[in-house]
Copies of this chain bind each other. A is one copy, B any other.
């Protein structure tokens, strides 16, 4: 369904555009913004003075002029325009980060978290306490927090911040919106962790390749298996999705997965599955949910020494991943695949299986093997993805609803 367009919409979009280039390149001068947006200088003037009045951006102090001519006046976001809290939920801890509007980290701490599977209610309470704690430590007023951006492994509702399925709580849903609503006015968004990795990698890729960038998939290997896909939209930036890849069917009536279904990819490629396979435990018994990495390192060492059974376990994991990726490629388009997560340390053992699994499908035989690269530092990518996404959401919200209101209150302040 098409929808009508108006001149106000034009201004909104161009304002968001200005904020986004400011976000990408840091402090910029009038002319630079004009160059990188394609908007005329006059328009930049109009938009920036409006944003300045609304206290969203500010002119930097006079700085030592480099080169002749009238010195540039740099425009930058006002750090105190608003704040963002990032909550990264991982299997053994929850990390809270407070970030200002310019993307600068202000405070951060982690809290251990028990693996109590019946603790969804308690977990939500812990998150609420954590949020209040980081707010309290920084002495920032609660209204200044514009957005709470949460990430977790598992399956996320695409429209609302509801965790539909997670490795720890299973099908016990967690609705962060309603959990935080009485206490917080801030908008709450929830994303799958690997989706954020894909978003970060996609943004990096677009920085390098520019308009040539088409799409990219991020595969995260660890206790569970995650996939994020980022595609260049026709106009509206990037489209990102985080399918339920780890629990896509690998083989009908296959090994039992910790989700209770048989034959999931994770039941072959998750850490616990590799362990199970290496110890030749029957495929219908389900081992511990979380396996110490040291344990897996031992198996990997044996495999590298040439022991048949552990090597086979990694190979089977690779095959499941390769088959799954080939199915994903059959449904999308050829795209490079970036592998991240703790599982990358075993990539030497997985590689052959992955490539063989990929090669078993028509699409790969026809179009050739996709580019596969290993990217370490998943944690950094997750945080980077949070910032990319959350800050652009904030920018949009400010322009959409805020500018007039904030501007009005600002002028009142001036005159008062």
**Interface of A with B (CB < 8 Å)?**
1-7, 9-10, 13-14, 16-17, 20, 37-39, 158, 164-165, 171, 206, 210-211, 232, 234-237, 241, 243-245, 247-249, 251-253, 257, 259-264, 319, 323, 326-328, 330-333, 357, 360-363, 365-366
Q: Of A243, A264, A333, A362, which is in contact with the most chain B CB atoms at under 10 Å from its CB? A: A362
Set B1, B261, B361: member contacting A249, Cβ < 8 A: B361
* In contact, B326 and A243 (Cβ under 8 angstroms): no
Task: Please state if A252 and B17 are interface contacts (CB–CB under 8 Å).
Answer: no
B237 x A2 contact (CB < 8 A): yes
A2 touching B13 by the CB < 8 A rule? yes
Known: A165-B366, A360-B262, A362-B257. A330 touches B249 (CB 8 A): yes
Partner of A361, one of B16, B171, B247: B247
- How far in angstroms is the closest Cβ of chain B from A214? 10
A7 touches which one: B7, B360, B365 (CB < 8 A)?
B7
- Report if A252-B323 is in contact (Cβ < 8 Å); known contacts: A243-B332, A244-B362: yes
Q: Cβ of B6 and Cβ of A253 under 8 Å apart?
A: no
Give Cα A13 to B3, complex, Å.
9
Chain B residues near A330 (CB-CB < 8 A): 243-245, 247-249
Closest chain B CB from A328 CB (angstroms): 6
Minimum distance in angstroms from A44 CB to a CB of chain B? 11
Q: Evaluate contact between B206 and A249: CB separation under 8 angstroms.
A: no
Contact sample, A vs B, 23 pairs, CB 8 Å cutoff: A1-B210, A2-B16, A2-B235, A2-B236, A3-B17, A4-B17, A4-B38, A5-B10, A6-B10, A7-B7, A10-B10, A164-B366, A241-B332, A247-B330, A248-B330, A249-B327, A249-B360, A249-B362, A261-B361, A261-B362, A263-B360, A264-B361, A327-B331
Additional A-B contacts beyond A1-B232, A9-B10, A249-B327 (18; CB < 8 A): A1-B210, A4-B14, A4-B38, A5-B10, A5-B13, A165-B366, A243-B330, A243-B331, A244-B330, A245-B330, A247-B330, A248-B326, A249-B326, A249-B330, A249-B361, A251-B251, A252-B357, A261-B361
Evaluate contact between A235 and B3: CB separation under 8 angstroms: yes
Quote the shortest CB–CB distance from A298 to chain B (angstroms). 29
What residues of B have a CB within 8 angstroms of the CB of A366 in the complex?
164-165, 171
Q: State which of B5, B13, B331 has its C-beta within 8 Å of the C-beta of A14.
A: B5
Q: What is the minimal beta-carbon distance from A412 to any residue of chain B, in angstroms?
A: 30
Residues of B within 8 A of A232 (CB): 1
Chain B residues with CB under 8 A of A319: 252
